[in-house]
Amino acid sequence: MSTEDVAGIDLESVTKWMVDTIPGVSAPFEFSPIAGGHSNLTFGVTDAAGRRLVLRRPPLTAVLATAHDMVREHRVISAFGPTPVACPETLGLCEDLEVNGSPFYVMDFVDGVVLHDRTITAASIPADQRIKLSESVVDTLAALHTADPDEIGLGDLGRRSGYLERQLKRWQGQWEKTKTRELPAMDRTYQLLLEALPEEKYNTVVHGDYRLGNMLVIPETGTVAAVLDWELCTLGDPLADLGYLLNNWVEPGELDQVAGATDFPTADGGFMSRDDLIARYVEKTGFEVANPNYYRAFQFWRLGAIVEGVLSRYMKGALDNDVDLEAFRVQVDSLAGMAIELAEDM
């Protein structure tokens, strides 16, 4: 792709900055958008010698300071560099808006496959590597959660307590503002989650979107090569990350029971069961996981509020894409149903 055709890259300014900032690179550079993700923009970069890099910048429109903070994202990835958590090596951060119109950072390219769905899993991950990959996913999460925030320089990344309480308040407020109809399961789940609010025994760095679709994996070895998409990272209850992973860890046959479900990379089987995943997480972290269904219910409920918000924006014309609104409603109904089922079974 011609570098002149890439929206979001000021070719001349970015080229000069990279040559001046990143040791060993050589111009000219070729930039090409990397598909995937719905937030910050990611570009593959190849220099004159064939070296591959990655550049991240905010979207071109509708930029939110909290959601598209390149400085914060760069800081988090850099902090985990010396730890066992698999992350790309960061190479440079540009905060000068004169260079490219917004902050951006550059990191080393990591080779691997992103398992977006079970079709890619079937084509990429041999059956005899799926348990090993399961173990690597859990071990990476455990390494993330057992890293001391103060020791790696992230002690001030967020508040040190009250994570779930704040999340419940935030997303209930979002639900009330954006709901397009009454959905008793969402309101009832919220009440059950409030009543059963667990003691926050642990406060660690949490990723916020930890799932196979946000990782690069190495098929040949069944290992996580890098964890991606850190924009939701903060300090909080690590079991919220675990609950989110468990919800995305769909077992064979479950997709047929979930109306409006998208595809999941683990759905064809061969991976560790949820119970085994929890057991390994407990072994690796030393954390007590007494009530995983609480965190699963919370994450289904939270995602229901998020998707309803997107539906509301479509209905009000804030988003102009031609979409199937009924599919959004079915998805929210399903998420609410799964949330209340787990909440009542806590």
> Could you give all domains of the chain from N- to C-terminal order, each with its CATH number?
3-108 (3.30.200.20), 118-344 (3.90.1200.10)
What does the DSSP 8-state code read for residue 117?
Answer: S
Local confidence band at 203 (pLDDT 50, 70, 90 cut-offs): very high
Rounded mean pLDDT of the chain? 91
Cβ proximity of 305 and 174 under 8 Å = yes
Confidence of residue 1 (pLDDT cuts 50, 70, 90): very low
Rounded distance between C-alpha atoms, residue 133 and residue 225, angstroms:
11
Supply the pLDDT for residue 65.
Answer: 46
Instruction: Return phi, psi of residue 95, to 5°.
Output: -105, 0
pLDDT band at 231 (very low <50, low <70, confident <90, very high): confident
Pairing label, strands 30-33, 234-236: unpaired
What is the rounded CA–CA span in Å between residue 79 and residue 73? 10
d(CA 95, CA 25): 20
**pLDDT exceeds 50 at position 7:** yes
Q: In the block, which residue shows the tokens 């002690």?
A: 155
Task: Confirm if 287 and 137 have CB atoms less than 8 A apart.
Answer: no
Angle between helices 130-146 and 238-248 (to 10 degrees): 160
Question: How far apart are the C-alpha atoms of 346 and 340, rounded to whole Å?
Answer: 10
More confident site: 6 or 1: 6
Beta-bridge partners for 39: none
- Predicted TM-score of the model (pTM): 0.91
Cβ atoms within 10 Å of 11's Cβ, excluding its own: 17
The pLDDT of residue 53 is above 70: yes
Residue range 239-280, pLDDT digits in tens = 999 999 999 999 988 866 555 556 899 998 999 999 999 999
Cα separation, 89 vs 109, in Å, equals 8
**Which pLDDT belongs to residue 33?**
92
- Quick one: average pLDDT of 287-291? 96
Can you give the pLDDT at residue 261? 56
Percent of the chain topping pLDDT 90: 81
pLDDT at residue 2 above 70? Answer: no
Residue 314: its pLDDT value, please? Answer: 86
